[in-house]
Amino acid sequence: DTAVSQTPKYLVTQMGNDKSIKCEQNLGHDTMYWYKQDSKKFLKIMFSYNNKELIINETVPNRFSPKSPDKAHLNLHINSLELGDSAVYFCASSPVGAGELFFGEGSRLTVL
Amino acid sequence: GENVEQHPSTLSVQEGDSAVIKCTYSDSASNYFPWYKQELGKRPQLIIDIRSNVGEKKDQRIAVTLNKTAKHFSLHITETQPEDSAVYFCAAAVSARQLTFGSGTQLTVLP
């Protein structure tokens, strides 16, 4: 049973296209996140949702739009993809107050 | 906001030797300091964490120390093994919901 699952695992697309990544967690956690890991391995938070409510929105282009239909799902939609968007995007979840992040397997996005 | 610096960026050790990775943080309000290990092509996973009311914590071959006055914390791995080879990230947080990660350390354990 995968705790935090993301789809797709790999995504190759052309500049200018729109794409979505989906994330689901079956841990019963209240908080979910999107992190971006660039080619230098740097992990940077993009968004955080608590019980479907946006609580963290770092400086991210407005081409990135998260959506949380319920507390077990957090999707990421990216419009007008650019070369610099190429990265691995990790979804994560955590229980309230406990601190540990449980990451998904990552979605490797390549923009050509 | 919080800023976390991590050193070194790469570290090679002989199997059986010890490895030490150091991090400093800027926000004195930070009170939670986890360490994550990311093997090649895999997800980051928590290996150990420490809270600000504790100075040191140990779990088998890994230990973390925290100096709140100096605002730095370190990961110590003893008796390193090839399977310890990975990227290690430190992080700091005022609240559990917003971790700021260090830039990572690529540890290579040479047989």
Could you tell me the CA-to-CA distances from A25 to A30, A98, B36, B108 in Å, in that order?
A: 10, 16, 20, 32
CA distance A61 to A80: 11
State residue A108's pLDDT score.
97
State residue B95's pLDDT score.
67
Cβ(B35)–Cβ(B90) below 8 Å: yes
pLDDT category, A5, cuts 50, 70, 90?
very high
Judge: B43–A106 Cβ closer than 8 Å, yes or no: yes
Q: Is A101's Cβ below 8 Å from some Cβ in B?
A: yes
Q: Is the pLDDT of residue B96 over 70?
A: no
Q: Is B93's Cβ below 8 Å from some Cβ in A?
A: yes
Cβ(B46)–Cβ(B38) below 8 Å: no
Query: The dihedral of CA A27, A31, A32, A33: what is its sign?
Result: negative
Q: Is the pLDDT of residue B106 over 90?
A: yes
State residue A15's pLDDT score.
97
State residue A54's pLDDT score.
85
Q: Is A77's Cβ below 8 Å from some Cβ in B?
A: no
The helix (H) or strand (E) run that includes residue B110 is strand B105-110
- Classify A85 as helix, strand or coil: helix
Mean of per-residue pLDDT scores for chain B: 94
In angstroms, the separation between the Cα of residue A17 and the nearest Cα of chain B is 26
Judge: A41–B99 Cβ closer than 8 Å, yes or no: no
For A50, the closest chain B residue by CA position comes to: B97
pLDDT category, A96, cuts 50, 70, 90?
confident
Rounded (5°) CA angle A86-A4-A94: 100
Q: Is the pLDDT of residue A11 over 90?
A: yes
Q: In B26-103, which ranges are E strands? A: 32-38, 45-51, 56-59, 62-67, 72-77, 86-92, 100-101
- For a pLDDT cut of 70, what percent of chain A falls above it? 97
For B36-58, the pLDDT digits (tens) are: 999 999 999 999 999 888 899 99
The helix (H) or strand (E) run that includes residue B11 is strand B10-14
Partner-chain residue, chosen from B42, B99, B106, that has the shortest CB–CB distance to A101: B99
State residue B91's pLDDT score.
95
State residue B83's pLDDT score.
96
Q: Is A90's Cβ below 8 Å from some Cβ in B?
A: yes
